[in-house]
Amino acid sequence: PLPSFRAALSLLVSGVAGSAAPVMLTVAGSDSGGGAGIQADLKACEALGVFGTTALVALTAQNTLGVHAVHPVPAAFVRAQIDAVLGDMGAHAVKTGMLPSEEAIATVAEALDEHAVAIRVIDPVIVAASGDVLAGPAAVAALKRLLLPTATVLTPNMPEAGALLGVAAPTSVEEMRAAAAALLDLGPQAVLLKGGRLPAPEAEAAEGGAAEAAEGRAAVGMVDVYADAEHGVVELRYRRGGTKKTHGAGWT
């Protein structure tokens, strides 16, 4: 049986006896601009004291302006990379990112099952921050069928939440709450719905925002929504950073 989300986090942080650091395998695309994809995953791993390993599923010609070209990696070579890493170093957790085709998703799902990977962070990279669509309807259907039911935690952005549910993307905190609960019904143990695209009036209505503004501080301005069976639906509120340099913000 898959561990609970809380147990998964505990295991990932503590590692195993004899390990210098916990190991995470990221199965995702490469971002030539360095802000997203495996490049961002490896930076996040380094910052958290985790040893990051990789299996490339696609190469992208990408920068802060958008995704200009995508070159998928053959499925057999994707599988070879996963087998090479998990067959030697293993992994305390696996995170998936851009999986551009039904074949790639089926290959990754089969490999994770055969290697008995228990902790799975599924980031359904369907729509990039630039708005570029990175996975078509067949890939979305395969993702829902093969990976979502095995996810320890699912981490969509707002357009991706809409795509997975077959509805318009949420545009309010209440719609995010409903979407997170509906995504939980698709099988993941937990959902973290990222609210970076929440319209400013909705985001600034976050609890405590008005009080902060009255004191001359920045309003909270950021709301993510977390859901699991134990805690229900929980709003996570933060102060929004004052920058337009958000390429890859969903990864890091």
Q: What is the mean pLDDT of residues 188-203?
A: 83
CB 8 within 8 A of CB 79: no
In which order are the strands placed within the sheet that holds 153-154? 66-72, 51-63, 23-31, 93-96, 120-122, 153-154, 190-193, 221-228, 232-239
Q: Which residue has the tokens 């093969």?
A: 146
Q: Percent of the chain at pLDDT above 90?
A: 62
* Residue 245 clears pLDDT 50, i.e. is over it: yes
* Residue 212 clears pLDDT 70, i.e. is over it: no
Give the lowest-confidence range in 106-120, 168-182, 199-213, 220-234: 199-213
Say how many C-beta atoms besides its own lie within 10 A of residue 208's C-beta.
Answer: 12
- Model pLDDT, residue 129: 61
Residues 133, 139, 140, 143, CA torsion sign: negative
- Model pLDDT, residue 112: 97
Write down the pTM of the prediction. 0.83
* Residue 163 clears pLDDT 80, i.e. is over it: yes
Determine the Cα–Cα distance for residues 107 and 95; give it in Å rounded to an integer. Answer: 15
Collapsed DSSP state (helix, strand, coil) of residue 219: coil
What are the residue ranges of helices labelled H in the chain? 5-14, 37-47, 75-86, 102-114, 137-142, 158-165, 173-184, 200-204, 209-214
Collapsed DSSP state (helix, strand, coil) of residue 229: coil
- Model pLDDT, residue 132: 64
Q: Which residues contact 34 (CB under 8 A, 6 or more apart)?
A: 40, 248
- Phi, psi (rounded to 5 degrees) for 71: -120, 100
Q: What is the mean pLDDT of the chain?
A: 84
* Residue 88 clears pLDDT 50, i.e. is over it: yes
Q: Which two tokens stand for residue 9?
A: 């986090």
* Residue 204 clears pLDDT 70, i.e. is over it: no
